[in-house]
Structure 1
Amino acid sequence: MKFSRRILAVALPLLLAACVPQTVRVKGDAALLGQQQAREHQLADANHWTLQGQLGVSDGHGGGGSGSLTWTQDGDHYDFVVRAPITGKSLFRLSGGPDGALLEGMDGGPLHGSDAEELMQRAVGWHVPLHDLRAWVLGLRADSGPAELSFGADRLPSLLQQDGWTVDYRRWDAAHQPPLPKVVFAGKPPYSVRLSVESWQFN
């Protein structure tokens, strides 16, 4: 059960990791914030996509794990699948939508919940802001409350602080227009997670 919880924790906090300051980081002025608003407008209807990448997580107390992640977003429905990298056989899945959530791969069989956040709290004791993560993983501010942004030399978001979480965008994929996050750290102590995105696919 302890191993299961470690691997599951890798998959689902998604963007909650410790931040290390970058060489260049400036507060958003009117021009930078306007550019970010334009990005957010372009991606406002991006509700059908698949992200593939690698995750590593630490709970700040010597526990943690890593695995490969496939996150599919289909409107209000989501499907997170994480696989352990060594055997390639251990698989954990969180799926669902407005009608509820299903967690598979835990000891004791599948678990059902009214929503993903409630299910994660019950299963592993984490408060995971999944609604916000859906925006943060795209490099956007969530609609849940005020957010503070800082920008890097590339004029893209470098640091996002919202709802007590800190999201540190380390690298962007400029092959996409608008650009999308490539390497992300984020955190809310004691938890830290690193996400390295290998590919984005939009439907």
Structure 2
Amino acid sequence: MRRHGRNILLWLGVAALSGCVSLPPRGPTVAGDAGLMAAQEAREDALRTVSDWSLDGRLGISNASDSRGNGSGSLSWRQRGDSYVFTVNGGFGYDYRLSGDTQGAVLEGVGKQPIRGDDPEALMRKAAGWSVPLESLRAWVLGLRAPGSPAQIRFGTDRLPAVLEQDGWHVEYRAWDTSRQPALPTKVFASKPPYKVRLAVSNWTLR
């Protein structure tokens, strides 16, 4: 009964976040012509030179095949070169902190002791029921194509990416902070059945 109640609360958390950040698609989309792709490549070149950035916001994740991966909470993501600290508080039944670099990762908060591993994605999948491509997500949250595999982009009337398809993931950009140059996403929805990830960014910091 306790587990059933916890699962209901987790699903309510995801639903609440979905309602909070849900926005209609940004109107019609078009495939990238030479001008749009040139502008996107310029954005990518500019942002890939930024090795020190952080974001704060809300994260919601649902996994239809594993209830451990369902929930929502506040997110703090700090990236400094290849080193990162990814902290989620509230909504998943526990608070956790994933940190690491190219040498490996450490997950804290899921068990009594920190869990270590070479692969952060495998670590999260085993310990928390996630199966999210963290390395690709690092690019997608900035509105970039992840390196190493083909990607398709469709653009909105604002000439910014509206939909990105890569590695079987469907990534929608529902809102952008255009006060920044280059512009940065503030609402990102990513899905690949049975997984859904929804991110609402309240603050970006680029150094």
What TM-score do the two structures reach when normalised by structure 2?
Answer: 0.83
Task: Give the aligned partner of residue 188 of structure 1.
Answer: 192
Instruction: Say which of 62, 80, 85 aligns to 1:74.
Output: 80
**1:53 corresponding residue in structure 2:** 57
> Does residue 136 of structure 2 align to residue 136 of structure 1?
no
Residue 28 (structure 1) aligned with residue 29 (structure 2):
no
Q: Which residue is 1:95 aligned to?
A: 99
Contact kept in structure 1, 2:56 and 2:74, CA below 8 Å: yes
> 1:55–1:194: 8 Å Cα contact kept in structure 2?
yes
Confirm or deny: 8 A CA contact 2:31 2:154 kept in the other structure: yes
Q: CA deviation at 1:128?
A: 2.4
* Candidates 42, 48, 66, aligned match of 2:46: 42
Where 2:159 maps in the other structure, the secondary structure is coil
Shift in Å at residue 134 of structure 1? 1.0
The aligned amino acid for 1:118 is A
> Offset of 1:122 from its aligned partner?
2.4
Aligned-pair CA distance for 1:26: 0.9
| Alignment partner, residue 14 of structure 1 | none
Task: Give the aligned length.
Answer: 190
Show the counterpart of 1:13.
none
Q: Of 156, 160, 175, which residue of structure 1 is paired with 2:160?
A: 156
Q: Which amino acid aligns with 1:190?
A: P
Answer yes or no: is 1:124 the counterpart of 2:128.
yes
Partner residue in 1 for 2:170: 166
For structure 2, the 5+ residue unaligned runs are 15-21
Structural RMSD (CA): 2.7
TM-score of the two chains, using structure 1 as the length reference: 0.84
Compute the displacement of 1:187 (Å). Answer: 0.5
Contact 1:73 1:79 in 2 (8 A): yes
How far is the alpha carbon of 1:110 from its aligned partner? 1.3
Amino acid at match of 2:33: D
| Distance in 1 separating the partners of 2:60 and 2:135 | 21
Equivalent residues of 1:184, 1:194 under 8 A apart: yes
1:74-109 superposed Cα distances (whole Å, 9 cap, x missing partner)? 1100000111169xx952100000111000001342
- The alpha-carbon deviation at position 118 of structure 1 amounts to 2.4
- For structure 1, the 5+ residue unaligned runs are 11-17
Q: Which aligned segments of 4 or more residues in structure 1 are displaced greater than 4 angstroms?
A: 18-22
Question: Tell me, what secondary structure is at the counterpart of 1:139?
Answer: coil
Report 1 or 2 for greater relative contact order, CA contacts < 8 Å, sequence distance ≥ 6: 1
Aligned partner of residue 38 in structure 1, secondary structure: helix
Quote the sequence identity (%).
Answer: 50
2:113 corresponds to which of 99, 103, 109? 109
